[in-house]
Structure 1
Amino acid sequence: MNSFSPPSSLGPVDAVIAALRALLGDRLSTNDAIRQQHGRGEDTTTPTLPDAVAFAKTTAEVSEILRLCHQHEVPVTPFGAGTSLEGHVNPVRAGITLDLSHMTGILEVNAEDMDCLIEPGVTRQQLNEFLRDQGLFFPVDPGSVCTIGGMCATRASGTNAVRYGTIRENVLGLEVVLADGRVIHTGGRTRKGANGYDLTRLFIGSEGTLGVITRIRLRLHGIPEATSAAVCQFPTLADAVNSVITVMQLGIPVARIELLDEVQMAACIAYSKLEGYAPVPTLFLEFHGTEAGVTEQASAVEAITADHNGSGFAWAREAETRNRLWKARHDAYWAGIAYRPGKRGITTDVCVPISRLAEALLGAKADIEASGFEAPIVGHVGDGNFHTIILVEENNADEMERAWALDRKIVQRALDLGGTCSGEHGIGLGKREFLETEHGMEAIAVMRSLKTTLDPKGILNPGKMFRN
Structure 2
Amino acid sequence: MVNHQQAFDEIRAIIGDRLSQKDADRDQHGQSETWHRAPPPDAVAWPETTEEVSRILAICNRHRCPVIGWGTGTSLEGHSLATHGGLVLDMLRMDRILDIRPEDMLAVVQPGLTREALNTDLRATGLFFPIDPGANASLGGMAATRASGTMAVRYGTMRDAVLAMEVVLADGTIIRTGTRAAKSSAGYDLNALIVGSEGTLGIITELTLRLHGQPEDVAAAVCAFPTLEDAVNCVAMTMQIGIPMARIEFMDPIAMRAVNLHSGTDYPEKPHLMIEFNGSPEGVRANAEAFGDIAGECGGEGFQWAASPEDRRKLWEARHASYWATLKLRPGATGVVTDVCVPMSELPGAVSAAARDMADAGILGDIVGHVGDGNFHTLLLIEPGNEQELARAKEVANAMARRAIAVGGTVSGEHGIGIGKRALMEEQHGEAWAVMGAIKATLDPNNILNPGKLVPDRN
Question: Aligning the two structures, in what range does the TM-score lie when normalised by the shorter sequence?
Answer: over 0.9
Q: Residue in 1 aligned with 2:436?
A: 447
Matched, 1:334 2:294: no
SS at match of 1:348: strand
Residue 391 of structure 1 aligns with an amino acid whose one-letter code is L
Q: Residue in 1 aligned with 2:294?
A: 304
1: CA distance between counterparts of 2:3 and 2:175?
27
SS at match of 1:53: strand
8 A Cα contact 2:47 2:89, kept in partner: yes
Shift of 1:398: 1.2
8 A Cα contact 1:364 1:410, kept in partner: yes
Q: Residue in 1 aligned with 2:349?
A: 359
Residue 25 of structure 1 aligns with an amino acid whose one-letter code is G
RMSD of aligned residue pairs (Cα, Å): 0.9
Matched, 1:397 2:387: yes
Which of residues 117, 139, 142 is equivalent to 2:133?
Answer: 142
Q: Residue in 1 aligned with 2:258?
A: 267
Shift of 1:315: 1.6
Q: Residue in 1 aligned with 2:407?
A: 417
Matched, 1:105 2:96: yes
Matched, 1:281 2:277: no
Matched, 1:215 2:212: no
Q: Residue in 2 aligned with 1:291?
A: 281
2: CA distance between counterparts of 1:184 and 1:86?
28
Shift of 1:339: 1.6
Could you report, residue by residue, the CA deviation over 1:145-181 in whole angstroms, capped at 9, with x for unpaired residues? 1101000000001000000000100110000000000
Matched, 1:318 2:308: yes
Matched, 1:73 2:61: no
1:378-397 matches, cutoff 5 A: 378-397=368-387
Which of residues 245, 248, 251 is equivalent to 1:254?
Answer: 245
8 A Cα contact 1:12 1:73, kept in partner: no
8 A Cα contact 2:426 2:433, kept in partner: yes
Shift of 1:467: 4.7
Could you report, residue by residue, the CA deviation over 1:242-272 in whole angstroms, capped at 9, with x for unpaired residues? 1000000000000000000000110011111
Could you report, residue by residue, the CA deviation over 1:265-295 in whole angstroms, capped at 9, with x for unpaired residues? 10011111223x1111000000000000111
2: CA distance between counterparts of 1:13 and 1:47?
18
Shift of 1:116: 0.8
Q: Residue in 2 aligned with 1:463?
A: 452
2: CA distance between counterparts of 1:403 and 1:172?
38
Shift of 1:47: 2.5
2: CA distance between counterparts of 1:409 and 1:71?
42
1:428-443 matches, cutoff 5 A: 428-440=418-430, 442-443=431-432
8 A Cα contact 1:360 1:417, kept in partner: no
Residue 321 of structure 2 aligns with an amino acid whose one-letter code is D
2: CA distance between counterparts of 1:176 and 1:13?
24
Q: Residue in 2 aligned with 1:8?
A: none
Shift of 1:394: 1.7
Shift of 1:466: 2.8
Could you report, residue by residue, the CA deviation over 1:86-135 in whole angstroms, capped at 9, with x for unpaired residues? 01000011111000011101000000110010000011100000001110
2: CA distance between counterparts of 1:48 and 1:299?
54
2: CA distance between counterparts of 1:390 and 1:416?
22
Could you report, residue by residue, the CA deviation over 1:322-349 in whole angstroms, capped at 9, with x for unpaired residues? 0001011111111111121110111111
1: CA distance between counterparts of 2:66 and 2:284?
51
Shift of 1:12: 5.8
Q: Tell me which moved more, 34-43 or 457-466.
A: 34-43
Which of residues 77, 81, 87 is equivalent to 1:90?
Answer: 81
Residue 52 of structure 2 aligns with an amino acid whose one-letter code is E
8 A Cα contact 2:167 2:205, kept in partner: yes
Q: How many residue pairs are counted as aligned between the two chains? A: 456
Residue 432 of structure 2 aligns with an amino acid whose one-letter code is A
SS at match of 2:410: coil
Shift of 1:23: 1.3
Residue 157 of structure 2 aligns with an amino acid whose one-letter code is T
2: CA distance between counterparts of 1:400 and 1:312?
38
Q: Tell me which moved more, 401-410 or 355-364.
A: 401-410
Structure 2 unaligned spans of 5+? none
2: CA distance between counterparts of 1:417 and 1:187?
33
Which of residues 162, 165, 179 is equivalent to 2:153?
Answer: 162
8 A Cα contact 1:12 1:72, kept in partner: no
Q: What TM-score do the two structures reach when normalised by structure 2?
A: 0.98
2: CA distance between counterparts of 1:242 and 1:57?
49
Structure 1 unaligned spans of 5+? 1-10
2: CA distance between counterparts of 1:270 and 1:437?
39
Residue 268 of structure 1 aligns with an amino acid whose one-letter code is V
Residue 309 of structure 2 aligns with an amino acid whose one-letter code is A
Q: What TM-score do the two structures reach when normalised by structure 1?
A: 0.96
SS at match of 1:376: strand
Shift of 1:41: 2.3
2: CA distance between counterparts of 1:139 and 1:145?
12
SS at match of 2:74: coil
Q: Residue in 1 aligned with 2:229?
A: 238
Shift of 1:314: 2.0
Q: Residue in 2 aligned with 1:5?
A: none
Residue 315 of structure 1 aligns with an amino acid whose one-letter code is W
1: CA distance between counterparts of 2:160 and 2:278?
19
SS at match of 1:228: strand
SS at match of 2:196: coil
SS at match of 1:350: strand
Q: Residue in 2 aligned with 1:41?
A: 32
SS at match of 2:341: coil
Q: Residue in 2 aligned with 1:63?
A: 54
Could you report, residue by residue, the CA deviation over 1:27-49 in whole angstroms, capped at 9, with x for unpaired residues? 11111111011113212112321
SS at match of 2:335: strand
- Provide the identity percentage: 52
Residue 16 of structure 1 aligns with an amino acid whose one-letter code is A
Q: Residue in 2 aligned with 1:372?
A: 362
Could you report, residue by residue, the CA deviation over 1:185-223 in whole angstroms, capped at 9, with x for unpaired residues? 011111011101100000000000000000000000000
2: CA distance between counterparts of 1:353 and 1:199?
27
